[in-house]
Structure 1
Amino acid sequence: MTLDKSALRWGASILAVALLAGGTGYWAGHRQTPQSEATTPAGAGKVLYWYDPMFPNQKFDKPGKSPFMDMQLVPRYADGGSAGAAPTVAVDPAARQSLGLRVVAAKMGSLASALEVTGTIDFNQRDVAVIQARSGGFVSRVYARAPGDVVRAGAPIADLLLPEWGAAQTEYLSVRRLGKPDLTAAARQRLRLMGMSDGLIASVERSGRPNGVVTITTPISGTIQTLDARAGVTLAMGQTLAQVSGLSTVWLNAAVPEARAGDVRVGQNASTTLAGFPGERFAGRVIAILPTTQADSRTLTVRIELPNRDGRLRPGMFASVALGGDAKPALLVPSEAVIRTGRRTLVMLAAGDGRYHPAEVRIGREAGGETEILAGLSPGENVVVSGQFLIDSEASLSGIEARPIGGGAASATIAAPASKATLYETTGKIERITANSVTLSHEPVPALDWPAMTMTFALANPGIARGFKAGDRVRFGFDRPPAGPTLRHMAKVAGQ
């Protein structure tokens, strides 16, 4: 077959263009930025590895989709902490400034066990007088009294006509005229047993006439609570005519949260202020802690006795109470640094260079904007006072576990020994084995509220997986150090 020169020249041109395009594409492909650098944000540093936030212990050398969850792997950068240290949240200086992060060192100090609560004034239920009829009779006169009136001791309440008393006095006067001391003494004793006072008996002796009308008076000063005496009413022996509550002392029933029950004791001093008397304080003491707790408010009632010599403290008044105590040395942090999650209490520790990690603590008393730390923190450790909630959220999303109570400062960089960690056991099937991990489809773990699922466990020792293969059904134990769930032992299930 013969081709003319023009056709040959046209074909050569097409070939040259194709070769040039292919070479350019090959050169451009080799000049592309490596994947690890292309996915690194500016200023983030070099990517060390990729990981699944749900399984942070498993590392991957390239990006992609997680084999465990339906999500993309997340990069861990060189400035995100070394593999041997506890995971931390890194915040650059610009972000720290915009968030307004403040850091304060935990320090030893003195915290007074002052407790500020509220309460209401009530009558002293131990200072009550019940006025009754000592004999059957009639109410002949009622003095101008009404419930709520404040009366003094000896104030008359009502005049009673008591026929039995009149008859007994007549007999006494007759025996007395006989001049026999033994009979006279016996008759006088009978009048006393009927309820007559020595003053009334002496009055009958002086006048020589029986007196069947008796004036009933109040034995104490106070407020009339009930008044059942009415003119012309027939009375039975022992019937109540009035009830008077004393006002020389009053009770203050203070509501103390049950969480602070240990800070209150009988005999403790109390200082009270009332809105009706601004700038004035009333001193009292705790006389009782009632044995029941209010179910709706979760408070217990503390009874405080207050002197009320001038009668200004009136039942029903609202009061603020300060229950004082001796100041005690304690490890203190600002109260705003404490994060209460409901299940546990945390603080965010500042590790330096803009790195932060959570630590679990146990708290005690709180006063004056400071909180006592009973366990989980050491003097001199720095805690975040503002912006800690954002850092805690980031730590939770990154799967960073809080330093446990009792771990001490060293536990921030060194994992606790396996012998001291809580070991969880269950049964599962081996899905995959690598040099540093084992993927298992395991049954539920009730102690952790875990359902049955497939997950990867790091190997505490590569020898644990020696002799096992995919498909084996095993019984295994694991713990949960900061690096993630770690396999501690594994054995084949009998009969496999």
Structure 2
Amino acid sequence: MTLTSLQRSQLAATLAAVALVAGAGGYYLAGSRNGAPAAGTPATPRKPLYYYDPMVPQEHYDNPDSLSSMGMKTIPKYADATSGQTAKPGVTVDPSAMQSLGIRLATATTGTLAGTLDVTGAIDFNQRDVAVIQSRATGFIQRVYGRAPGDIIRAGAPIADVLVPELGGAQNEYEAVRKTGDPSLIAAARQRLRLIGIPGGVAGGRGMTTIRSPIGGVIQTLDARAGVTLAPGQTLAQVNGLGTVWLNAAVPEVRASAVQVGQTATADLAGFPGERFTGRVIAILPTTQADSRTLTVRIELRNPGGRLRPGMFATVHLGGTSDTALLVPTEAVIRTGKRTLVMLADGKGRFRPAEVRIGREASGQTEILAGLAAGEKVVASGQFLLDSEASLTGIAARPITGDTN
């Protein structure tokens, strides 16, 4: 843990405010009043081994009035009061000083950790609901209907009127065949009209046909312009449906196991306060975002009336089952970057760091996967001061696989 100069000064001042006396395997933070020894400490003064600054413990001084290289007043270091006994390593704090140091304890307990995962997401188009509108034959656009990208249209809305020279001959052929009354010939002539692009196989005007959108939605692209010559297969427009939309949620990769295809999800949007939208997870994309270390979870939402618009921001609640786990307050967890620690308390004023492996977090609680047992007490407030003292004095953290005693 890295401390600023101000934090170093505050820490040293705090440590200097309470007498540091030798404890078994660590330092004893013993509070005193008016120079009198604290309860439980020997009345006869002991001779210190040397004087030192907790911020630079490797520097030793003989004079109690010495200043360390950091300019801080030194404090005494005493011999081990329990020499010859088997002692537990740790930092010992006089109970009378715990309140002034802001130390608060919590117990590791077995409880229920809600499986709900709250993440953020954004509304996007349903890319499976797309219609590409193309020309079926060579022709010329005679008329357009004032459409533009971004317009919302209904199913069957006209896009352009197209003159198709080939259509005139096909229509004449259909009329001639229809007069014969031969069902097979009539069906063949009608099929030819369908292939040219006449819906239902019947044209209303000689050589002229209207190209329409097969679905309702928003126009994404529009290339229909009056006078343009069309080739078979040329795209006039692309329409994206709005009946359903996708909600792309960013789920941290460490919580990937909490999400499954098919599970229920709900969303809250700022544009609709007090209203909750329910959907279903339809896909978990196979790639991870390298910058945010998140997975994209795709949720499909119904969109009656087209109220949900792509680009809207949402808070996503991914439902799950509630599991039993060993829990400690999240504030008790110390993340150093290389490992995760908690400060153990033995109930007698002695504290020792312990390495743990953590799991999920929810509602201010963190799951402990290894390193703690139910009933053990940890420091929930003031643990950084104790961890700093333990680090400075070389007290090793209890390993996950080590002895818990």
TM-score calculated relative to the size of structure 2: 0.79
Gap change, CA 1:138 and 1:355, over 3 Å in 2 = same
Aligned to 2:375: 380
Aligned to 2:17: none
Aligned to 2:326: 331
Asked if 1:362 corresponds to 2:357, the answer is yes
In structure 2, runs of 5+ residues without a counterpart are: 1-21, 23-29, 53-60, 63-75
Aligned to 1:489: none
Question: Please, which of 105, 123, 127 is the counterpart of residue 107 of structure 2?
Answer: 105
Between the two structures, name the one with larger relative contact order (CA 8 Å, sep ≥ 6): 2
Gap change, CA 1:143 and 1:313, over 3 Å in 2 = same
Larger radius of gyration: 1
Gap change, CA 1:388 and 1:76, over 3 Å in 2 = farther
CA distance in 1 between partners of 2:265 and 2:46 (Å) = 62
Gap change, CA 1:91 and 1:250, over 3 Å in 2 = same
Aligned to 1:274: 269
Deviation at 1:242, TM superposition (A): 0.9
Gap change, CA 1:87 and 1:265, over 3 Å in 2 = same
Q: Is the 8 A contact 2:191 2:201 kept in 1?
A: no
Select the structure that is richer in helix.
1
Aligned to 2:27: none
Gap change, CA 1:138 and 1:83, over 3 Å in 2 = farther
Q: In structure 2, the residue corresponding to 1:361 is in which secondary structure?
A: strand
User: For 1:449-492, what per-residue CA distance to the aligned partner results, in whole angstroms no more than 9, with x for missing partners?
Assistant: xxxxxxxxxxxxxxxxxxxxxxxxxxxxxxxxxxxxxxxxxxxx
Asked if 1:77 corresponds to 2:72, the answer is no
Gap change, CA 1:170 and 1:330, over 3 Å in 2 = same
User: For 1:313-368, what per-residue CA distance to the aligned partner results, in whole angstroms no more than 9, with x for missing partners?
Assistant: 11111111111211111111110001111111111111122111111111111000
What is the total number of aligned residue pairs between the two structures?
A: 350
CA distance in 1 between partners of 2:265 and 2:197 (Å) = 43
Instruction: Tell me the percent identity.
Output: 66
Aligned to 1:346: 341
Asked if 1:263 corresponds to 2:266, the answer is no
CA distance in 2 between partners of 1:49 and 1:399 (Å) = 20
Q: Is the 8 A contact 2:141 2:161 kept in 1?
A: yes
Q: In structure 1, the residue corresponding to 2:166 is in which secondary structure?
A: helix
Asked if 1:141 corresponds to 2:143, the answer is yes
CA distance in 1 between partners of 2:80 and 2:135 (Å) = 93
CA distance in 1 between partners of 2:403 and 2:282 (Å) = 42
User: For 1:227-283, what per-residue CA distance to the aligned partner results, in whole angstroms no more than 9, with x for missing partners?
Assistant: 111111111111111111111111111111122222211112111111111111111
Aligned counterparts, 1:77-476, within 5 A = 77-78=80-81, 83-197=85-199, 199-201=200-202, 211-407=206-402, 409-410=404-405
In structure 1, runs of 5+ residues without a counterpart are: 1-35, 54-62, 65-72, 205-209, 411-496
Q: Is the 8 A contact 1:269 1:286 kept in 2?
A: yes
CA distance in 2 between partners of 1:113 and 1:178 (Å) = 72
CA distance in 2 between partners of 1:76 and 1:395 (Å) = 17
Q: In structure 2, the residue corresponding to 1:164 is in which secondary structure?
A: helix
Gap change, CA 1:158 and 1:402, over 3 Å in 2 = same
User: For 1:390-432, what per-residue CA distance to the aligned partner results, in whole angstroms no more than 9, with x for missing partners?
Assistant: 101111111111111133533xxxxxxxxxxxxxxxxxxxxxx
Amino acid paired to 1:335: T
CA distance in 1 between partners of 2:47 and 2:189 (Å) = 111
Runs of 4+ in structure 1 deviating by more than 4 angstroms, as ranges, are 40-51, 178-182
CA distance in 2 between partners of 1:322 and 1:258 (Å) = 16
Amino acid paired to 1:230: R
CA distance in 1 between partners of 2:339 and 2:124 (Å) = 39
CA distance in 1 between partners of 2:265 and 2:231 (Å) = 46
User: For 1:427-458, what per-residue CA distance to the aligned partner results, in whole angstroms no more than 9, with x for missing partners?
Assistant: xxxxxxxxxxxxxxxxxxxxxxxxxxxxxxxx
Gap change, CA 1:228 and 1:285, over 3 Å in 2 = same
Q: Is the 8 A contact 2:190 2:201 kept in 1?
A: no
